[in-house]
Every structure is written in C-alpha cells, then in structure tokens.
Amino acid sequence: MNGADHDLIAAASAKITELYEENKHHVGAALRTKSGKIVDAVHIEAYIGRVTVCAEAIAIGKAISEGEKEFDTIVAVKHPYSDEENRALKVVSPCGMCRELISDYAKDCFVILNVDGETIKTEISELLPLKYTRNS
C-alpha cells in the first residue's frame, strides 16, 4: 500500500459519503487507471436484489465509457446503515461477480480489501484463483 492507494480509498470514501442514501447507495468504489485517472462511482440498490449493480461494476463501466481500458487498482468502501452502531466507513472485498468482472477487464488489476482488520492490496488473480481459460 502506498500514498496513491490511500488516495484511492479516500476517493471511494468521499464518493459514498457525498451520495449515501439509505436503501439506494451504500457502497462507493474508486478505480485508478494505468494512466493515473481516478474514476469513482456508487452502487445502485434495487428492491429485487438481482437488479442491484455493484459500485465496482459501475466504476469499470464509467471508465470504459470515458475511453479508459487499462486498470491498475480498485477499491470499494461501505457506508454504515443508519441503524449500525459503528459509524466508520469500511473497505470491503468485491463480491464474486465483481471479481469476475475485474478479472475479465484487467487480469493484472490490484484490489484493495480488508483482511482480518488489516487493509491490504492484492492481485485480482489471488481473489479468483484458477480462473477458467480457453483451451487451444
């Protein structure tokens, strides 16, 4: 973890702090491209869970829509719900679908996550080992 990684966490934190809305947006993500650009987004909650779109997916789509195709590092931050006692923002791990998406679009991307109370940075391949490959 370096200063740029802490800046990325700060960007995701700022985005979800700004746009948090109970039952609509409680996770923010920030993606740093290899060109150094930071793209941030929030997740979109839906009453029917399978329609919900994760913040990481929206950040990836936003980056691609802005012409960015090479990704360096991504992080997601969860805002506490109004009934949670601990009001701290938390770095969270990407779900399985987001792990697939990150790997599909940036197989050498780094992910910042929390493991046993420690914020770490790891390669997406560590979170999605033995990913399928096309047979030649």
Rounded Cα distance between 12 and 113, Å, is 12
Helix (H) or strand (E) holding 100: helix 96-105
- Of 18, 56, 66, 85, the catalytic one is 56
Concerning whether 85 is annotated as a catalytic residue, the answer is: no
Distance in angstroms between the alpha carbons of the first and the last residue of the chain:
37
Q: Give me the active site residues, please.
A: 56
